[in-house]
Amino acid sequence: MNTRMSFSWLACAALCLTQIAHAAPGRGRDDGPDRHYPREGHVVRSLPYERHVVVAPGGSRYFYSRGVWYAPRGPSYVVVHAPIGLYVPVLPPFYTTLWFGGVPYFYADNSYYLWREQQHSYEVVDPPEQTSGAASSSSAGSDEIFTYPKSGQSADQQAKDRYECHRWAKDETQFDPTQPGGGVADNQNASKRADYRRAMTACLEGRGYSVK
């Protein structure tokens, strides 16, 4: 009797786990291993806690959270493609840097972003025109610095700290990773890039971040 009950309980548990796995969102699109994004059209009842409200020129509202864009749909929210022309203060956590005509584009989840100095933000842009040999890529790990808040800093605070540290590191090292070649001579690129990373790391660690 006990054996039959145990078998029934295990079968039920396995069925429940299978149903949960099939129902889990976030297995639609990705930019590499463990970099999953929910499918466009996926509907959620509530938004992530950390998000940015983005208002389009026509008055439409969008919500941006860690590279995912949402639009209101009745009492719920639907995942949409990144709207062209809108700005966000921080890039998705995983992306690839693509260089077209000497200009760095940040690619994530089938969308392209460009840094706009005047707005201190990243703009969602149309895909750049691709010509043979025009593009080169490097992963975010080689061009970017991953930061992890140790004190629960909000997304807004993280964006502010990162921008201020970038400005300081750029002024200290005369190297700007948002510019072609860092804005320095080719024979200085490697050393200046290393100086910039050290300066950024020191600044961010001083503000309570773990840096990798």
Q: Is residue 14 domain-resident?
A: no
> Total structural domains in the chain?
1
> Token digits for 8?
């029934």
Residue 196's H or E segment, with its range, is helix 189-206
Q: Is residue 158 domain-resident?
A: yes
Position 32 scores a pLDDT of 42
Segment 153-182, tens digit of pLDDT: 876 677 778 778 888 988 999 988 777 778
Q: Which of 9-18, 36-45, 74-83, 115-124 has the lowest mean pLDDT?
A: 9-18
Q: Is residue 114 domain-resident?
A: no
Q: Which long-range contacts (CB under 8 A, 24 or more apart) does 195-199 make?
A: 196/169, 196/170, 197/145, 199/168, 199/169, 199/172, 199/173
Q: Would you say residue 83 has pLDDT above 80? A: yes
Position 11 scores a pLDDT of 37
Q: Would you say residue 30 has pLDDT above 80? A: no
| Mean pLDDT of the residues in the chain | 75
Q: Is residue 131 domain-resident?
A: no
Residue 209: domain span: 145-212
Q: Would you say residue 126 has pLDDT above 80? A: yes
Position 206 scores a pLDDT of 93
Q: Is residue 6 domain-resident?
A: no
Position 178 scores a pLDDT of 72
Q: Is residue 97 domain-resident?
A: no
Position 4 scores a pLDDT of 46
Going by C-alpha positions, the residue among 142, 145, 148 that lies closest to residue 198 is 145
**CB within 8 Å of 188: residues ≥ 6 apart:** none
Q: Is residue 128 domain-resident?
A: no
Q: Is residue 100 domain-resident?
A: no
